[in-house]
Amino acid sequence: MYENVEFNITSQKPTLDHYRRDWRPDSAPGLCGIWLGGIVGDSADNNYWGVRGCDDFIAGMTHVVSPICGFRSLQKGMEVDAPHLFPEYSTLDWFEPMQLVETEASVQLSYPSGRIVRDADGFHWYDASGRWELHGHTVSDIVLTHVPPQRGIDADVYYRHELMYATGQVDGVEVSGYAHQDFAYGPAGTIYTELPIVRHLQGMWVSWLHEFADGELGGGSFWQGRDGVSFGPGYQFKNGVTTVHKDVVARPTFNDGGKLIALDTSIGSDTYTMSFDSSGSLLHTFGPLTGTSSGKDIARSWCWSEYGGSLITPELLDLTTAAYALARRR
């Protein structure tokens, strides 16, 4: 049914209006989820992964651990758990109501344990106790993947992504690295796990940022369809320019446990080689970019993959979200 998927991918220069709660792509009536994420490290080579979701399970709520979110310390090795930095974030299903304050100069989402702010200086993510703070400067365009109605897909759905260079601190220690903020849009009243991209199309999602030795930043993000599904939208950020592509091809390597450990990727005329050496969850692996077709020396890099194999199915997604059905009733 989904062998040849029709989709479009476009880019836009970011403005503050893009982060206002009522912003929508033209044909999408509903907001179905917002996520903010980061992979950052300090001078002692300690690396951290942070993710928070908003509106993706229950409208008007943020969460840190359902199903796999929080603030974690990345450890080398695919069989090593990434422990939570702060014990309270390890509890199951920690949802918090959020409050929106929009002004001409900023958009702020606040909740008991922190806040997220967008203003002229970029993106700011604060822990209420001051233990976690990230500031992101968007370097790419905003990129929208649009899957229109077609056989097996009843309504327009969109996924939106951008790349940011992040600075900040974790427990008082300076860190820097990668950050993103991504969004999903679809029919009003639906949540991300009810949209066809994750239910039927996604085999793999990848995003990365790299810094060459000369200081130039680059990176990108893309999808790969699950077995038998032709779905390869993505983009790359290179030489200060964002270009979108409909035919990204990735050749993965897995270990005996089914974890992604390497990836060779073609985007347009460029190729990228990634190595994954840390596991954040059953779905997520992390590691460096080890080579590009440009041949330039890579000073630092942050690669993030999501590959679920048989763990991402409509049945399992519905089982995960069934617990929130009562809270979603209006």
In tens, the pLDDT along 268-277 reads 999 999 999 9
Q: Which helix (H) or strand (E) holds 321?
A: helix 314-321
Residue with tokens 């000073």: 299
Residue 149's contacts (CB-CB under 8 Å, 6 or more residues apart) are 155, 156
| Contact call for residues 292 and 271 (beta carbons, < 8 A) | yes
| Contact call for residues 208 and 232 (beta carbons, < 8 A) | no
Of the listed ranges 15-24, 90-99, 169-178, the least confidently predicted one is 90-99
CA distance 42 to 105: 31
Asked whether residue 28 carries a pLDDT value surpassing 90, the answer given is no
* Mean residue pLDDT across the chain: 94
pLDDT at 105: 98
Closest CA to 129 of 95, 89, 164, 94: 89
CB-CB neighbours of 299 under 10 Å: 12
Token pair in block for residue 285? 């692996």
Query: How buried is 163 (Cβ within 10 angstroms: 0-12 exposed, 13-18 middle, 19+ buried)?
Result: buried
Question: Which amino acid is present at 85?
Answer: L
Question: Average of pLDDT values for 197-205?
Answer: 95
Asked whether residue 134 carries a pLDDT value surpassing 60, the answer given is yes
Asked whether residue 151 carries a pLDDT value surpassing 60, the answer given is yes
- Residue 122: which pLDDT band, with cuts at 50, 70 and 90? very high
Query: How buried is 22 (Cβ within 10 angstroms: 0-12 exposed, 13-18 middle, 19+ buried)?
Result: exposed
Q: 16 phi and psi, to 5 degrees?
A: -60, -30
Selected residue with higher pLDDT from 18 and 86: 18
Tell me the chain's radius of gyration from C-alpha atoms: 19
Question: Average of pLDDT values for 288-299?
Answer: 97
Question: Average of pLDDT values for 128-141?
Answer: 95
- Residue 266: which pLDDT band, with cuts at 50, 70 and 90? very high
Question: Which amino acid is present at 203?
Answer: G
pTM of the full structure: 0.96
Closest CA to 25 of 176, 147, 192, 205: 147
